[in-house]
């Protein structure tokens, strides 16, 4: 077993932090490590939280951590932030808002920057969640910024997905357009003390009538005022009820199978692409001058790369 996997098994927090860095930086030993931790996973409850910036997700996550800790649960948090184009570091304030939990040994918070690589981010986040699961947290919270395609990919990791909305922000249409409406398992109307709550509730219900009119599970709507700790019990009750529904209906198993299939294909895709790009780089992109001069179109160049790749594989066999 990989030494880091051994240490994660023994609940060494520094080993977990280093393992996540291996995943983020594509360390040569990453696959070896991930293979070893696979059998250690304990099936934590993965909860995804998404919604437009400014919806109060970080504050909600912060209060939810306090709520779950008061019930004796251990928590891992992955906060997916946009990346600074200058420093390459994650630039949102999740760590600032959650700073009160830093000294708690039963809470582990990791911010992850998009680094401009959206497809890679979903995979890296998934691998980070797997490492946290192997460590043994009861609940893993995955928080993303915004409601775009990258968020959709990241949310597919979660067992239960909560979409956080605000009254008077016009978020519903945005969420509907992004396709998150289809994958949401719970809607949280945060800052529910602001005017415009009844209008927002009726908008969500109307959208659900369109999208979930014949679905076996209709996502509930919970109102919260996170700064006053209001509604947190109901949020957790609904998330727990959803997990029970997944177990009893068999949908949870279906999701797991879908996710595992996707995961295997993603790893294959990534490793193939990496090998292919390294080969083309070592060949000095021999096709590029012809494409530049217009003597070869990009599609024929791509075809040639694939043909050469196949011939190379045949020779190896």
Q: What is the pLDDT of residues 17-66, one digit of tens each?
A: 999 999 888 888 998 999 999 889 888 999 999 887 777 888 888 899 99
pLDDT of 191 > 50? The answer is: yes
pLDDT of 96 > 80? The answer is: no
Averaged pLDDT of the chain: 84
pLDDT of 7 > 70? The answer is: yes
Exposed, middle or buried: residue 281 (CB in 10 Å: 0-12, 13-18, 19+)?
A: exposed
Which of the four pLDDT bands, split at 50, 70 and 90, describes residue 8?
very high
pLDDT score for 249 = 92
- In a 3-state reduction of DSSP, which class is residue 115? coil
Which of the four pLDDT bands, split at 50, 70 and 90, describes residue 99?
low
pLDDT (average), residues 134-144: 92
pLDDT score for 239 = 95
DSSP 8-state assignment for residue 146:
B
Cα separation of 157 and 78, whole Å?
A: 12
Non-local (6+) Cβ contacts of 74 within 8 A are 106, 107, 136, 137, 138, 139
- Residue reference for tokens 């021999």: 286
pLDDT (average), residues 193-204: 87
pLDDT (average), residues 272-287: 89
pLDDT score for 12 = 92
Which of the four pLDDT bands, split at 50, 70 and 90, describes residue 178?
low
Q: What are the two backbone dihedrals, phi and then psi, of residue 223, each rounded to the nearest 5 degrees?
A: -100, 135
Read out DSSP for 218-245? PPPEEE-BGGGTBTHHHHHHHHHHHHHH
Going from the C-alpha of 209 to that of each of 119, 177, 205, the distances in angstroms are: 32, 15, 6
User: How many residues are listed for the chain in this entry?
Assistant: 317
Per the CB < 8 A criterion, the answer to whether 239 and 160 are in contact is yes
pLDDT (average), residues 104-131: 77
Lowest-confidence segment of 22-26, 143-147, 184-188, 297-301 by average pLDDT: 143-147
Which of the four pLDDT bands, split at 50, 70 and 90, describes residue 107?
very high
How many helices (H) and strands (E) the chain has is answered by 14, 7
pLDDT score for 233 = 94
pLDDT score for 256 = 84
Exposed, middle or buried: residue 30 (CB in 10 Å: 0-12, 13-18, 19+)?
A: middle
pTM of the model: 0.84
pLDDT of 209 > 90? The answer is: no
Proportion of the chain above pLDDT 90, given as a percent: 34
Q: Give the class (CATH, top level) of 41-249.
A: alpha beta
User: Measuring CA to CA, which residue among 224, 222, 229, 187 is closest to residue 63?
Assistant: 229
pLDDT score for 85 = 46
pLDDT digits (tens, 9 = 90+) for 26-40: 888 998 999 999 889
pLDDT score for 87 = 46
pLDDT score for 122 = 76
Lowest-confidence segment of 67-71, 134-138, 143-147 by average pLDDT: 143-147
- In a 3-state reduction of DSSP, which class is residue 296? coil
């Amino acid at each position: 077993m990989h030494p880091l996997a051994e240490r994660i098994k023994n609940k060494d927090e520094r080993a977990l932090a280093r393992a996540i860095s291996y995943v983020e930086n594509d360390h040569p030993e990453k696959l070896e490590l991930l293979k070893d931790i696979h059998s250690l996973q304990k099936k934590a409850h993965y909860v995804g939280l998404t919604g437009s910036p400014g919806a109060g997700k970080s504050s909600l996550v912060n209060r939810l951590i306090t709520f779950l800790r008061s019930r004796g649960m251990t928590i891992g948090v992955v906060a997916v932030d946009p990346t600074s184009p200058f420093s390459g570091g994650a630039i949102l304030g999740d760590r600032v808002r959650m700073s009160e939990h830093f000294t708690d040994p039963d809470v582990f918070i990791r911010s992850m920057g998009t680094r401009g690589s959206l497809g890679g981010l979903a995979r890296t986040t998934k691998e980070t969640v797997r490492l946290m699961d192997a460590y043994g947290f009861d609940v893993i919270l995955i928080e993303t910024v915004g409601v775009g395609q990258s968020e959709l990919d990241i949310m597919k990791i979660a067992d239960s997905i909560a979409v956080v909305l605000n009254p008077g922000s016009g978020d519903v249409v945005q969420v509907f357009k992004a396709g998150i409406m289809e994958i949401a398992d719970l809607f949280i109307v945060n800052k529910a003390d602001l005017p415009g709550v009844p209008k927002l509730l009726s908008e969500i219900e109307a959208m659900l009538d369109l999208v979930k009119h014949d679905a076996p599970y209709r996502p509930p709507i919970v109102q919260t005022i996170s700064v006053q700790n209001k509604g947190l019990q109901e949020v957790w009750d609904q998330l727990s009820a959803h997990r029970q529904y997944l177990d009893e209906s068999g949908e949870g198993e279906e999701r797991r199978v879908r996710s595992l299939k996707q995961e295997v294909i993603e790893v294959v895709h990534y490793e193939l692409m990496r090998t292919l790009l390294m080969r083309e780089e070592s060949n000095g992109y021999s096709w590029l001058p012809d494409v530049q001069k217009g003597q070869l179109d990009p599609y024929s160049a791509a075809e040639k790369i694939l043909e050469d790749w196949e011939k190379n594989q045949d020779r190896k066999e």
